[in-house]
Amino acid sequence: MIKCIVCDLDGTLMRKDDSIEEKTYQSLKRCIENGIEFIIATGRDINMVIDFLDHYQLDCDLILNNGTQYCNRRQTFNHIYPMNYEAFKKIAHILSSYGYLLAIHTDHGKYSFVNQEEFWDYHYKLLLASPDYQESLPQKTFTTKEGYLRDFHYAKDADEIIKQGIKVLKIDARHLDAYLIQGVKQQLNIDGLNISSSYEDNIEITSSQTSKGKLLDKVIKEKGYAYDEVAVFGDGENDKDMLALFPYSFAPANASNSAKMAAHYQLSSTCENGAVFEGIEILKQKEILKI
């Protein structure tokens, strides 16, 4: 029987406006009310999930920053898995020299090597260039100045972050001009780092010692769940190791090819029209989820 449901957010449970499709929300709510544990596993940091948790009144365990942090909403427990400082210095120098906008997620908030106004200006240009936001920008955490700059800090360089003893959990590196950065990924093969990227203009970097799958594996063993008691949902490159690990793993129709290949079930629905709902219905039909 399924005792735990684990969901990625963006592109899986969450729609583009940070909402949950209604029938999915009601189905998930019934699962939680019936004692099924719910865990979020996302590339976001704590400041990027707070609004979502509050809106849906979710009080659950969180795997954040692509598996480099495990905590709860109040952070009464908070386990982190930071990247090596020397590796951080090397990759920060390379990416900065190419003009990437770096959002450096740490145990003390979000840092960057440009000030708050420059950071938001570049981020805003990236939003306008995205095909996801051609019509208008939704009022959500990622697309509002108030939300995205929550707990933002400036540092002149990597050394300043290191000297303060701040732990680096993840780097989001984005660039407006894909032509200028052709071939940069070939320079990022640095020991101790994991590079997750479909394109060179949008790169995620974490410690190679952990990932969503590795951390989730540790968490479910500590909780005493068997693999076939856990249902996992994910759509991206950073989800494929946790999808491959569990027999009841689901990829929505909008998922990346690597996620679909790793998942044991490929769904016909997207995140926009109830992919997680469809997966829950499959589990109910198999009579291994009773709600």
The 10s digit of each residue's pLDDT in 212-267 is: 999 999 999 999 999 999 999 999 989 999 999 999 999 999 999 999 999 999 99
**Same domain (yes/no): 104, 200:** yes
DSSP string covering 108-177, please?
TEEEESS-HHHHHHHHHHHHHHSGGGSS---SSGGGSHHHHTTTEEE-SSHHHHHHTTPPEEEEEEE-S-
Q: Does the residue 91 lie in any domain? A: yes
pLDDT digits (tens, 9 = 90+) for 144-180: 999 999 999 999 999 999 999 999 999 999 999 999 9
User: Is 290 among the domain residues?
Assistant: no
Residue 259: predicted pLDDT: 96
pLDDT for res 132: 80
Contacts of 198 (CB under 8 A, 6+ apart): 237, 256
CATH number at residue 188: 3.30.1240.10
Which whole-number Å values give the CA distances from 125 to 9, 181, 202, 277, in the listed order?
Answer: 24, 17, 14, 34
Q: In the prediction, which pLDDT does 198 show?
A: 67
Q: What is the pTM of this model?
A: 0.95
Q: How many domains does the chain have?
A: 2
Residues 68, 75: Cα–Cα separation, whole Å: 14
The answer to whether position 242 is within a domain reads yes
Residue 133: per-residue pLDDT = 81
85-119 pLDDT, tens digit per residue, is 999 999 999 999 999 999 999 999 999 999 999 99
Q: In degrees, to the nearest 5, what angle opens at C-alpha 232 toward C-alphas 230 and 238?
A: 135
Q: Are the C-beta atoms of residues 120 and 104 closer than 8 Å to each other?
A: no
CA-closest candidate to residue 196, choices 187, 205, 183? 205
